[in-house]
Amino acid sequence: MISLSHPPEYTTEQDKFFNYCLWEYKPAVPHANKFRSVNLLFHSFEVAGVGEAWFDLVGLIRKGIGESKTVWGVKLAGEALRWEFYFYDYKRRERASSISRFIETVKPLIRCDVKPDERLPYFMFSVDIPGNLQPGATALDEIHMYVGNVGSSVSSGICYSVRERSTTLENFYFFFDARKQMEAVAGKISSSAYLDTTRVPLEDILWPELASCRVIVVANKKHNDAVYFAGINVDQLLFFLKRMGYPQAIAAFVEQHRPELNHLEYDVGIDYRMEGDRVVFLKSGYYGVF
């Protein structure tokens, strides 16, 4: 449960809703006086027992970047919960939500020596925050910066790791309309150095239970591939949490509060590769906005 010291946040008639790309959507059911998605983030803090600094960090970012401008991701790698925050500004060089602004915003809690080049045309960046967040002692040494993939036949992005003294290529992302481009999705997943679909059914990756989503993203990464299902409902989220083995308390919270969460669309992702003759899921995540 969300602790009494951090009571749930409720929606109003004025709330707007955004997916993990900060694309706006309209809830399928009336949404007044229901849960905001940030409650799922706060609950993950409670389950992991990470301490008050995490709630302070969310407050700092809201104050410095703005309300409903930050995408959060709760990740599960092995048995450990992790967190990543994502920031978009599609104006690119004319951006307001910049890496420099983020670094200055979180400075009371997190030190970062990365010196971004704000002349670059990035439209997004993300940061992995260490779970043992210690005010004044935690340092951030890497920013993930995303630029467009000009020339791709579908919406696409390229991710780079930016450190104090280096920039290296990380990942490619390709966005497909799940209702119109499923054949292309299947082809993209199958065209891989990490998956042999002559030995593993495509359904092991392209889960039928989630394929009714709005957008499917296929990513090619250094050591594995990934697939993201964007625009699923609360029941599909619950299926995902159980199948991926999230802490029982997280799935139970969603199940208990389904009526307060059924207005939202959810986005989830899975990192995978083949090891021998089977698919191994390396990491997964679910996303929201604050």
Q: Which two tokens stand for residue 180?
A: 């119109």
CB burial of residue 240 (10 Å; 0-12, 13-18, 19+): buried
Domain ranges across the chain = 17-289
CA angle centred on 217, ends 23 and 149, rounded to 5°: 80
* Per-position pLDDT tens, the chain of length 290: 554 468 899 999 889 999 999 999 999 898 989 999 999 999 999 999 998 999 999 999 999 999 999 999 999 999 899 999 999 999 988 898 999 999 999 999 999 999 999 999 999 999 999 888 888 778 899 999 999 999 888 899 999 999 999 999 999 999 999 999 999 999 999 999 999 999 999 999 999 999 999 999 999 999 999 999 999 999 999 999 999 999 999 999 999 999 999 999 999 999 999 999 999 999 999 999 99
DSSP the chain: ---TTSPPPB--TT--EE-TT--EE--SS--TTSB-THHHHHHHHHHHT--HHHHHHHHHHHHHH-TT-EEEEEEEETTEEEEEEEEE-TTGGG-SS-HHHHHHHTTTTEEE-----TTS---EEEEEEPSS--TTTEEE--EEEEEE-TT-SS-EEEEEEE-SS-EEEEEEEEEEETTT-HHHHHHHHHS-SS--TTTS-GGGTS-TTTTTSSEEEEEE-SS-EEEEEEEE-HHHHHHHHHHTT--HHHHHHHHHTHHHHTT--EEEEEEEEEETTEEEEEEEEEEEE-
Q: Which of 8, 1, 4 is nearest to 35 (CA)?
A: 8
pTM: 0.93
Q: Which of 284, 270, 268 is nearest to 19 (CA)?
A: 268
Q: Which of 118, 43, 30, 94 is nearest to 290 (CA)?
A: 43
